Structure 1
Amino acid sequence: MLQRQRRLNEFLFLKDYLPAHMLCTVKRMSLIMEHLENLVTDTLSLPSLSLPPFSSSSSSCSNNEDPRYNLLPWHLRRCLEFCFIFTPGFTFYKKDLVLLWVAGGLVHPVVGRSLEEEAGHYFDLMVSWNYFLLVYPDHPEPGLTSLDLDPPLYKLRFDWINIDPFTMDHEFVRHCLFDGLVSEKARHASVGRCSISEGWLQPSRGLRTIFLRRRGTHCYSNSLLNDAGRLFLKVRYLRILDLSHAGFKSLPDYVCDLLHLRSLNLSYNPIKTLSRSIITLFRLQTLNLFRCHELTSIPDNLYLLSNLRHLVISPVKLNLMSTFIGRLTSLQTLLQFTVLRKDGCQIGEPRNLNNLRGELSIENLENVATLDEAKGASPLKTGIHKESLVWSKNEPNANFDIAQGLRPHCNLKVLKIFNYNSKFPSWVSNPSFTHLISITLTNCLIEELPPLGPLPLLKSLQIVNVNGLNILAPSSTDGELSKLLSHLYLHWKFGI
């Protein structure tokens, strides 16, 4: 707007050369732009939003409605209203909703923060203002609630906002329908099986979000979704498409025609392989293949999706993984990385994925041949807080040196080791791991653990089906061991 105002000011110098009717229009636009500039200046001078915690005693609204809802900034209101595509009682994880906000273009960019970080800040504000509530507020182990071993589930508090989610029709239009036609004004819709069979998509061409939600254990039939495929061609501006639990065995062809798609959820589908034509979705940011147990390979041209930031593939047994996955330098989420033989994806592929965050599971570590390869697995991935090292159960294990070379960054909080049959790596007890709070050993064959005393924040040690272990902390004194066990939650389980 300011650039346009400067251009208009330049045009005013040409007033002697402009016709009268054009000069009047230019002057009117210049006054409007000047007013907008003053409005922007006044807005920036306002104090930042700081809402006090909710107090039921101080609320004067009826029906338990929150009086602050109408005072929220526009970007927070849009994110909150987006959640009305969920039915009352629907539960969700923080990260899933954050990625939906980012894919929907609802997050206001801030210098120095990624969109995901800013969206996470929005979410925390919603929780502090009680718009999102914990589904299980009473944890069975109060001492372990701070470990964040399993992310908590949340749900939206519908009773605080005086908007009917099924009849919403205002500035930022969205509808939450399950068995009816979608309004032609709708931008975000969550629909059910009955709506699909009735041509529910015909009236609306401006949809940005479609959720196909199952009821109970019901999955959509392929015939219904194939018929709906023709209707998907009418909503070419979709940003978010959720086809989870749909019973797909392959990627539908019509999905690859949605060129504006940012988020594609294919989780819980018996998909065996992805089509190479998925690279036409060049704007794709999130590809969710969680619990696609039949998936055996991903296309070798996946690296062409240069905007891909979140690749959720877990838990699957891949026989073929893209050897160019290391080129996806924008990746922030890669739940599982499978190491294959010499003709497949090597463990050094994620060497350049320095933006990875959260959780990472490295599978088939028996395919790592040398110590140098092991050291290139995850060099200084500062954002990885939960890491799993997995050897195949029926394969010969790598030697101790390779396990030593798999040392993660010292920011690690949760470590899990599966099917490891050798001397325990000594880096676990390194004092530099000051953030490590949980260690889990499953189906391992080891004789002794390294001393755990140097780990000040360690609170959980889970030992499941570990055979041959006869020494817990060999080099710890009795005082150090008793001090360690006093604040350590020890879960010891043997299989039969």
Structure 2
Amino acid sequence: MRKNWSLFTKLALFERPSHELEEIGREIVKKCKGLPLATKTIGRLLQCKRTRDEWQRVLDSELWEFEEIEKGLFSPLMLSYYDLPSIIRRCFSYCAIFPKDYNIDKVDLIRLWMAQGYLELEKHAKLETIGEECFDHLATRSFLQEFVKYEDVISGYKMHDIVHDFALFLSNGECLAIEVNIGDKDPFINSSNKNVRHLMLKVNKGVSFPMSICSVKSLRSLLMISDDRDYNALSGDVLQNLCKLTCLRSLKFPKCRVEEIPKDIKKLIHLRYLDLSLQNIVQLPESLCELYNLHTLVIIGCFSIVELPQGIGKLVNLRRLKNNDCVGLLYIPKEIEKLTGLQTLSEFVISSEGDNDSKACSLEGLKFLNNLEGSLTIRGLGFVKIASDGKINQVLTNKENLTRLTLLFHKLKRIDRRSFQLITTGGGISCEDYELVLEALLPPPKLEVLEIEYYRGNTFPSTWITSLTKLKSLFLRNVSNCENLHPLGKLPSLERLYIFSMNNVKKVDNVFWGMESGTSSSSSSSYFFPKLEKLEFWHMNECEEWDNNIAKKGEDKEHIKFMPCLATLRIVSCHKLKALPDSLLQGIALKELNIFACNILRERYKEGTGEDWHKISHIPKIQIDN
């Protein structure tokens, strides 16, 4: 009981000690019967209750008399649940569609709520924003709990088993999660499941699809899941019958090796969310463009798909087209220009025929899609032959909500279905054309992540890279012709820098730091890469020197700081590099040093025998291959 009281006070009485509230609080904790989840739920509820009367009403509530499974644990959950606005209560009960211990993706769940019409549009607010608020409210009340974190970003949530039971209770049979194994009876032969409106289905390997599901005409959500890459293929008959479920708002059946989507998919006129990820489809039927209510189309990992429907402009409500890893896609249809409300377009693919392809949207056509947000990849920039006419200058600048941009000057083409072997192709344009294209693609001001790959220009844009004051991560890969690194040290917010295969760079010099050779520093403090935390050089095959002689030329060496926040330094396959800058190795922030496949560096910094081992021995984590 003492532990529960301590937990309760941390949540409900945090920074507001009160004798009156403490007295009532102890009575409330008693009603939680020593159960931590109950205590946590009530504590979260009372965080937003400020007065004695509000706390007394919680204590006196008749819901404490509610007796159900788990010794009345539903009582505190009920109290917290009925304190929520009706829109959030509806969203929570939908979570019963997930099986226990399921890793819930926040973004996907919000999309599913939207598909069911649960989120009410408010003035000056997007549905996605309202969904975020609903989700965060449920997480604050402990109905959803953090599960997966990566670099401080939460990527998954789960429900406690008791909370899941509570959600099932509230759904009153409308939500159901079923796993079908070999020997199991058809789940919908039993009439007790006829009330189901939202179904998550897992059909394990070797089991036929339970066709009785197609008889539940009132089904509004059908989400199929699988852990097996070799999941049984859905036959044409199954898909044809699924097209009879005309009440569906959400349909998801990834990893089913589907080769053709039936034309009758147009019958699903209420469909708002469609996930066809990891299928073997070569193209989508034009009839799909009659799904006017569709707001989310997911075709992630459909490696074989070569083109999208020409009539895609009819999907006037489409907000998200997630087409990452569709490596065989030849182009984006020209009609995409009509979808000015599009918020997500994972990859924009430029046709290898350039402006001669009348069916394809040109790079210039991207200027119509200024509502794009989050991440965008542009693939095939090596086929853009005319950039000097100024037509593509405003393609990206006005996309203020883009935070991640990937510029690929090559294209990927799948050449073998069985081996999944890929080849890269690029255009035949000159180095000058590459430079003109990259110069014209001035990114939006809020960009945080930039990737450039297979760029064949001799230099980087002189005007815009150093203007990206919000940039946190920069990746440069396979940049074959550049002999010098750009003055990246001037980027004030850069935290991570990755440079791969810049084989013409022979020396990392003062240009890289952001100060030209021979320029003296002032007596005031000068910082180069002021926030950089992680730096990686890979496959810099010709690089021999890494110089930071600015300090030697400066008037006041003590006020010059090189990467003062650098915590991780990784050097891989830089065979000719002779030494690392002492100023970096002696940095107090450096916690990890990795040196792999670098023969000279290995001998120079080898423990015990290396001439400069003493310069790195203080670093907490050192990895040098033998």
Relative to the length of structure 2, the TM-score reads: 0.64
Aligned with 1:192: secondary structure?
strand
Based on CA coordinates, which of the two structures has the bigger radius of gyration?
2
Structure 1 contact 89–155 (Cα < 8 Å) conserved: no
Give, in angstroms, the shift of residue 486 of structure 1. Answer: 6.3
C-alpha distance in 2, partners of 1:418/1:381?
21
C-alpha distance in 1, partners of 2:535/2:230?
39
Which residue is equivalent to 1:334? 345
Distance 1:164-1:219 versus aligned 2 partners, 3 A rule:
farther
Which residue is equivalent to 1:407? 442
Of 348, 356, 370 in structure 1, the residue corresponding to residue 387 of structure 2 is 370
C-alpha distance in 1, partners of 2:520/2:159?
51
CA deviation vs aligned residue, 1:56-93 (integer Å, no higher than 9, x gap): 99862637243323422221122222222222232243
Of 277, 290, 314 in structure 2, the residue corresponding to residue 267 of structure 1 is 277
- Which stretch has the larger CA shift, 126-135 or 241-250? 126-135
Aligned with 2:293: secondary structure?
coil
Give, in angstroms, the shift of residue 242 of structure 1. Answer: 0.1
Which residue is equivalent to 1:468? 504
Distance 1:492-1:234 versus aligned 2 partners, 3 A rule:
same
CA deviation vs aligned residue, 1:33-60 (integer Å, no higher than 9, x gap): xxxxxxxxxxxxxxxxxxx957999862
Distance 1:87-1:428 versus aligned 2 partners, 3 A rule:
farther
Of 421, 424, 447 in structure 1, the residue corresponding to residue 456 of structure 2 is 421
Matched, 1:347 2:359: no
Aligned with 1:420: secondary structure?
coil
Distance 1:55-1:331 versus aligned 2 partners, 3 A rule:
farther
Give, in angstroms, the shift of residue 318 of structure 1. Answer: 1.9
Which residue is equivalent to 1:389? 407
Aligned with 1:211: secondary structure?
strand
C-alpha distance in 2, partners of 1:55/1:490?
44
Aligned with 1:325: secondary structure?
helix
Of 156, 159, 163 in structure 2, the residue corresponding to residue 157 of structure 1 is 159
Aligned with 2:157: secondary structure?
strand
Task: Give the letter for the 2:308 counterpart.
Answer: I
Task: Give the letter for the 2:177 counterpart.
Answer: C
Which residue is equivalent to 1:277? 287
Structure 1 stretches of 4+ with a deviation exceeding 6 A read 54-58, 477-481
C-alpha distance in 2, partners of 1:92/1:427?
43
Give, in angstroms, the shift of residue 456 of structure 1. Answer: 1.9
Which residue is equivalent to 1:64? 37
Give, in angstroms, the shift of residue 162 of structure 1. Answer: 6.0
* Bigger proportion of residues as strand: 2
Which residue is equivalent to 1:245? 255
Structure 2 contact 244–268 (Cα < 8 Å) conserved: no
Aligned with 2:89: secondary structure?
helix
C-alpha distance in 2, partners of 1:434/1:129?
37
Distance 1:429-1:213 versus aligned 2 partners, 3 A rule:
closer
- Which stretch has the larger CA shift, 277-286 or 178-187? 178-187
C-alpha distance in 2, partners of 1:80/1:473?
56
C-alpha distance in 2, partners of 1:97/1:169?
18
Distance 1:465-1:302 versus aligned 2 partners, 3 A rule:
same
Task: Give the letter for the 1:339 counterpart.
Answer: I
Which residue is equivalent to 1:94? 106
Structure 1 contact 453–481 (Cα < 8 Å) conserved: no
C-alpha distance in 2, partners of 1:106/1:375?
40
Of 336, 349, 359 in structure 2, the residue corresponding to residue 325 of structure 1 is 336
Aligned with 1:410: secondary structure?
coil
Task: Give the letter for the 2:370 counterpart.
Answer: N
Matched, 1:454 2:454: no
Matched, 1:484 2:529: yes
CA deviation vs aligned residue, 1:312-331 (integer Å, no higher than 9, x gap): 11122322431121111110
Which residue is equivalent to 1:175? 176
Which residue is equivalent to 1:37? none
Of 377, 380, 387 in structure 1, the residue corresponding to residue 398 of structure 2 is 380
Distance 1:295-1:203 versus aligned 2 partners, 3 A rule:
closer
Distance 1:178-1:473 versus aligned 2 partners, 3 A rule:
farther
Which residue is equivalent to 2:127? 115
Give, in angstroms, the shift of residue 302 of structure 1. Answer: 0.8
CA deviation vs aligned residue, 1:371-428 (integer Å, no higher than 9, x gap): 3243143231001110011101542453312211001111111111111122112244
Matched, 1:208 2:209: no
C-alpha distance in 2, partners of 1:200/1:463?
55
C-alpha distance in 1, partners of 2:445/2:96?
40
In structure 1, stretches of 5+ residues that fail to align are 1-51
Distance 1:319-1:217 versus aligned 2 partners, 3 A rule:
closer
* Alignment length (residue pairs): 431
Structure 1 contact 335–359 (Cα < 8 Å) conserved: yes
Aligned with 1:415: secondary structure?
strand
Give, in angstroms, the shift of residue 121 of structure 1. Answer: 2.0
Task: Give the letter for the 2:179 counterpart.
Answer: F
Give, in angstroms, the shift of residue 218 of structure 1. Answer: 3.9
Aligned with 1:153: secondary structure?
strand
Structure 2 contact 331–350 (Cα < 8 Å) conserved: no
Give, in angstroms, the shift of residue 485 of structure 1. Answer: 6.0
Aligned with 1:408: secondary structure?
coil
Structure 1 contact 132–154 (Cα < 8 Å) conserved: no
Aligned with 1:136: secondary structure?
strand
Distance 1:53-1:296 versus aligned 2 partners, 3 A rule:
farther
Which residue is equivalent to 1:106? 118
- Which stretch has the larger CA shift, 75-84 or 346-355? 75-84
Task: Give the letter for the 1:303 counterpart.
Answer: G
Structure 2 contact 148–157 (Cα < 8 Å) conserved: no
Aligned with 1:107: secondary structure?
coil
C-alpha distance in 2, partners of 1:108/1:352?
28
Matched, 1:444 2:472: no
Q: CA RMSD in A?
A: 2.8
C-alpha distance in 2, partners of 1:204/1:460?
52
Give runs of aligned pairs for residues 209-224 of structure 1, distance below 5 A.
Answer: 209-223=221-235
Distance 1:233-1:361 versus aligned 2 partners, 3 A rule:
closer
Structure 2 contact 244–267 (Cα < 8 Å) conserved: no
Structure 2 contact 337–361 (Cα < 8 Å) conserved: no
C-alpha distance in 2, partners of 1:122/1:164?
18
Relative to the length of structure 1, the TM-score reads: 0.79
Structure 1 contact 410–435 (Cα < 8 Å) conserved: yes
> What percentage of residue pairs aligned between the two structures are identical?
24
Distance 1:81-1:447 versus aligned 2 partners, 3 A rule:
farther
Give, in angstroms, the shift of residue 444 of structure 1. Answer: 1.3
Aligned with 2:260: secondary structure?
coil
In structure 2, stretches of 5+ residues that fail to align are 1-9, 15-25, 42-75, 181-185, 411-423, 540-571, 574-626
Structure 2 contact 121–127 (Cα < 8 Å) conserved: yes
C-alpha distance in 1, partners of 2:105/2:409?
29
Task: Give the letter for the 1:210 counterpart.
Answer: L
C-alpha distance in 1, partners of 2:166/2:142?
19
Structure 1 contact 176–190 (Cα < 8 Å) conserved: yes
Structure 1 contact 245–268 (Cα < 8 Å) conserved: yes
Structure 1 contact 299–321 (Cα < 8 Å) conserved: no
Aligned with 2:95: secondary structure?
helix
